[in-house]
Structure 1
């Protein structure tokens, strides 16, 4: 028994065409112009697109933020992801000081295993680099972890330049990839101290405290170190035109650089921090929302194939009881916003419907390229015989309006409140199992751990 999806437009990064897709068990077994398969459940996808399941490259579920945890854990977060058509997520395991990488990975497995409604893998955030951590890189590969995260900001997380060089070199030996949070933490501290001496309680100071220059400087330093180490590198949540220019210059000189941006940097801008009262706190994230010119530069980069993937940096905090911690001091507002549920709809509306980019580019950014970079292709990110039957049947005409009251995400706010558009996941399949329709999840807890291999880019 299986499914025969007929008459849809199958989308690939390099083109689209009308075809049938045959699903047997957990796998795609055939893709052809016409398929005859008696006994299969037939789904008519006429007028709809068929995408490979989308991949969110950047989530923070069940994250310990010190005083409290994020509003979404792996149960609610992955359920929200699958509702919108995201069938795989990559979350960030964080090594604590004094902890081994293996111990950190075990913590995240306990949080996610048996609780997830989409498939999941882990990046490993290294915060305590030493001889033992270096020895563990091969063990991480054995356990299916082939991507890593480093911070250039936050005193409790960041690595120094020497460590950065050593980590890049060690992970390249395993043909892995390092993603880096690029902000100059010392600049941010200095600017913030100056701002706080003048005023403490205004949300509008948040973007000023983390200027684009701090991102651009960190990107330049990272790429200098990566060039010396002879390794590619991935820049996560790129937010600024200044940072983009540094990437463009390095690429012209032949350096291999991968770039992730997020919906918030393509759709929103810093005017959100000027909302009345404390409402702007809902938009506090790091890096912060930027200016309109930054947004436009990033869209141009999307169209020119200068952006490789669209993650969300989903890190949800409730306004009530969590964000309000910073009511009298803007630096105490927990940084992070939700978005894994709405990412495909938002990109389709603002990118495809509004003519900024193509349906094929959407497939590339949300599925194919992240699958290749993070060692999942063609198991994930592809509609090919033998691939996992992670499929999204996309209805281009379905209208929607985003609201915190109706979202699946377990948080009392959304930065996209009231935004309307068309196009959403009509049906979502996870490894051959139908799990969601039009934003409603009807089959939960089917997610499995993705054992990833070396990068393919």
Structure 2
């Protein structure tokens, strides 16, 4: 087994930072030592296979992106990143673990669908991976399947209050699934938007001749998100199941989550970089010479990016500081403009919903540190430690300590990262939603289970290096 010593850096955790050297033996971290320490009387620098000089840099646990959609079917097409291309892009950006979603549509067998997603990922991933399971057709056999999947390390289940005929579950189905989650310890995840109202608003907008991408956001107003968030919180309260609300974008939805947490409920939420940086006016309503008034299709995702005039962006940053929102994922679900987003050129309602961000999340959130929005420790907490705790991986993932997987990022605060601007990205998509963003920091080295997969020469990992993570129950309940 290869031994590695990362020396001279500052190890940053969710609770503090300290100068320390990190010793890796094979796939695991075996020691975190004061600089210059000797182990068993031996000079470490001269006795290991590889020395990484991290002087002046941060040494952090690899990022954990707990919300990705590789190869997801949606809107008559599939997300353009495969498990191979998407996890390779994640590695470039310092993310060493993803949790993706196995998809079930109405009428499909849940266990068969889970097996299909396992086959899609096996032998292809550059970094480690796990699965949540989407439930769209909650019947008696669905509840039995939930128990079976938990034994396979799938301990979280996602339902939708939107997308009629595709993913939507009615309140009774959601209630039954939450009852089962309360019994078996599963984390219940919700896409919270009032789909029935959205469907009416979209139909009315199209009848009025509104077809451009900005209407995607205008027909999904914050009230539809806040109402559905409140509704699923009440179902959580009634059943006792823990609730995790995905891709929170509206400050009023955060208020619902915060109020539930103030009552002592196990209610949690994530947000995504797009809800911190992008706006309806500047991006969703954008025009360009190439795409005309269809430029905004690049930024169509659900929940939608919101108006910068209504205080949502500042509220989302505040919620991260106060822990009303616990973590940042990407909802990575990229679609190319050509042949995919173009499916909705004549109707915003037909634009495939999704953006590509898995490569950029760690950098984008570090810029929040530079800008004084969050602390260095909070950066590590919301991008690595909390996702690992929330979804049953902590101790192995999300921390630099003896016994943990050697998923390590060396991050240079004096480096610089230009996104787009002629720089090639590594996601399988024909544009960057983050074109022109400048980051005051840089991912210098990435290790996954003790193997260097990105260094100053570029990506040196391999297809199939990533292993399936059999997750435990959440470690975040109060």
Map of 1:273 onto structure 2: 284
**2:407 touches 2:446 (CA, 8 Å); kept in 1?**
yes
1:252 to 221, 246, 262: 262
Map of 2:432 onto structure 1: 414
Shift of 1:439: 8.9
What is the alpha-carbon distance in structure 2 between the residues aligned to residue 304 and residue 438 of structure 1?
36
- After TM superposition, the structure 1 stretch with the greater mean CA deviation from structure 2, 94-103 or 176-185, is 94-103
Task: State the secondary structure of the residue aligned to 1:234.
Answer: strand
**1:262 touches 1:311 (CA, 8 Å); kept in 2?**
yes
**1:375 touches 1:452 (CA, 8 Å); kept in 2?**
yes
What is the alpha-carbon distance in structure 1 between the residues aligned to residue 75 and residue 199 of structure 2?
19
**1:6 touches 1:19 (CA, 8 Å); kept in 2?**
yes
Shift of 1:100: 2.4
Map of 2:205 onto structure 1: 195
**1:424 touches 1:438 (CA, 8 Å); kept in 2?**
no
Map of 2:322 onto structure 1: 304
Map of 2:32 onto structure 1: 31
What is the alpha-carbon distance in structure 1 between the residues aligned to residue 458 and residue 171 of structure 2?
46
Structure 2 segments unaligned to the other structure (5+ residues): 39-43
Runs of at least 4 residues of structure 1 off by over 6 A?
none
How big is each residue's C-alpha offset from its partner over 1:340-363, in whole Å with a ceiling of 9 and x where there is no partner?
0011001101x1000111110011
Shift of 1:248: 1.7
Which residues of 2 match residues 14-413 of structure 1 at below 5 A? 14-34=15-35, 35-36=37-38, 37=44, 38-40=46-48, 41-155=50-164, 156-271=166-281, 272-276=283-287, 277=292, 278-292=294-308, 293-349=311-367, 351-403=368-420, 406-413=424-431
Task: State the secondary structure of the residue aligned to 1:173.
Answer: helix
Task: State the secondary structure of the residue aligned to 1:428.
Answer: strand
**2:409 touches 2:445 (CA, 8 Å); kept in 1?**
yes
What is the alpha-carbon distance in structure 2 between the residues aligned to residue 296 and residue 50 of structure 1?
29
What is the alpha-carbon distance in structure 2 between the residues aligned to residue 153 and residue 439 of structure 1?
44
What is the alpha-carbon distance in structure 2 between the residues aligned to residue 207 and residue 136 of structure 1?
35
What is the alpha-carbon distance in structure 1 between the residues aligned to residue 271 and residue 360 of structure 2?
15
How big is each residue's C-alpha offset from its partner over 1:38-92, in whole Å with a ceiling of 9 and x where there is no partner?
4212111111101111000110101122522111110100000011000000101
Shift of 1:252: 2.0
Map of 2:41 onto structure 1: none
**2:75 touches 2:350 (CA, 8 Å); kept in 1?**
no
What is the alpha-carbon distance in structure 2 between the residues aligned to residue 454 and residue 435 of structure 1?
29
2:442 maps to 1:441 = no
What is the alpha-carbon distance in structure 2 between the residues aligned to residue 63 and residue 454 of structure 1?
25
Between the two proteins, the alignment pairs up a number of residues equal to: 456
**2:254 touches 2:325 (CA, 8 Å); kept in 1?**
no
Distance 1:281 1:375, change over 3 A: same
What is the alpha-carbon distance in structure 1 between the residues aligned to residue 211 and residue 203 of structure 2?
13
Shift of 1:438: 5.3
**2:249 touches 2:312 (CA, 8 Å); kept in 1?**
yes
Structure 1 segments unaligned to the other structure (5+ residues): none
**1:344 touches 1:424 (CA, 8 Å); kept in 2?**
no
**2:138 touches 2:174 (CA, 8 Å); kept in 1?**
no
Shift of 1:422: 1.5
Distance 1:234 1:439, change over 3 A: farther
How big is each residue's C-alpha offset from its partner over 1:411-438, in whole Å with a ceiling of 9 and x where there is no partner?
0111111111221210000000000125
- TM-score when scaled to structure 1? 0.97
